[in-house]
Amino acid sequence: MTLQTSSDMASFDPYGGELYNQIFTGYMEQLFMTDWTVDPSVQNYQLSFWSNSQAAGDLAQSWEFPTPGTLVLHLVQNAYWQNIAPSNGRQFTSADVVYHFDRMLGLGDGFTAPAPYWASVANWKSLTSVTATDKYTVTMVWNTTNPEFITETMEAPDSAQTIEDPDAVSAYGNLNNWHNAIGTGPFLLTDFVDSISATLTANPNYWGTDERYPQNKLPYISTIVDLIIPNQATALAALRTGKITAIDSITAQDVAGIKQTNPNIKQIPVPIGNCNTIDPRNDKSPYNNLQVREALQMSINLPQIAQTYYNGESETTPEPLTSSFMTGWGAPYETWPADLQAQYAYNPTQAKALLAAAVIPTVLIRTSSLTPVQI
């Protein structure tokens, strides 16, 4: 599989933060992961956010909260570091977890201050200590008594979670050199050419199996080549000519272009879990007038914008607090009462009437009635 990434990889050490490397999770693993056994009709797998009830263990086999601020993790006992010096395939243990968090957050093992990047991440400031109860048990103490907050922090996909090889850190000081990138993950980082590519090769000693088909050893893919292509036009050309297998995060305009030139390329819309909104100062005139806010909403032709500016690739109705793809977090538009739906429907006539009642010049309507292409 050949993929594209838009930025170069500046470090192979989670100590530097998650922005420097896009392939951490290829060769390193986390304690928690996505539960791949959940029915797709219950959870859309393309969404990045999962609820706590759908969290699963990766290097952590199970966990419990003996008290609200204490998380006890029981590690898998069959995970091994990749067979590369200096760890040479030794078993993964609780001491490795302790070392990782001590190093990231300055909690011990000679580390007295958090890594520069993680010093500013608010969630991790709540973790106060990590200790090894035994070879496969880790106890984490937090200064919050909210188990949901703790679990969400632990299952978040970031590089504070990807656990690096402590033997390599001790031997080399850091893992900035790609040759020293060692983890317990399904792939080995076998090649890197600065600003050109990174190559991941299947780890022959990987411990994991397919959650749905446990008789199948992972990974299924033998090689992943990550081409570093900053220019989107160049990446699209590579996709059209078959030089890369997949590409993501492309514009609606590019989607339409590919449909015309390469209808054989499979397209999968990826829903977003959040919504972008414009929020005026409701404490200042004229936005402190409810009729004004209703009029502004009614002056926006959402269906036309969706069909023209976004080429029919977006929702045509208002979204709840989160996107409608995240079920259970907000009431979908079609379930709203009729009078509430009317406040969000395109109705310039009613909008002008509301502004007239609010004694607001209708110039506001004219200044906001740009065509979707102009927006």
Q: What is the mean pLDDT of the chain?
A: 88
Mean pLDDT along residues 258-263: 92
Comparing 10-24, 149-163, 205-219, 354-368, the range with the smallest average pLDDT is 354-368
Comparing 136-140, 238-242, 358-362, the range with the smallest average pLDDT is 358-362
Name the residue ranges covered by the structural domains of the chain.
2-228, 232-261, 290-368
Q: What are phi and psi of 240, to 5 degrees?
A: -65, -35
Task: Give pLDDT, residue 53.
Answer: 76
Model pTM score: 0.81
In this structure, are strands 223-228 and 2-5 parallel, antiparallel, or unpaired? Answer: parallel
Which of 42, 81, 79, 41 has the alpha carbon at shortest distance from 57? 79
2-228 belongs to CATH 3.40.190.10: yes
Which amino acid makes up residue 213?
Y
Both tokens of 242, joined, read 């078959």
Q: Which residues contact 341 (CB under 8 A, 6 or more apart)?
A: 333
φ/ψ region of 173 (left if φ > 0, alpha if ψ in -120 to 50, else beta) reads: left
> Residue 294: pLDDT above 70?
yes
Task: Give pLDDT, residue 91.
Answer: 98
> Residue 324: pLDDT above 80?
no
370 confidence band (pLDDT: 50, 70, 90) = very low
Task: Give pLDDT, residue 41.
Answer: 80
> Residue 92: pLDDT above 60?
yes
Q: What is the tens place of the pLDDT at every residue in 43-82? A: 778 877 777 777 889 999 999 999 999 999 999 999 999 9
> Residue 255: pLDDT above 50?
yes
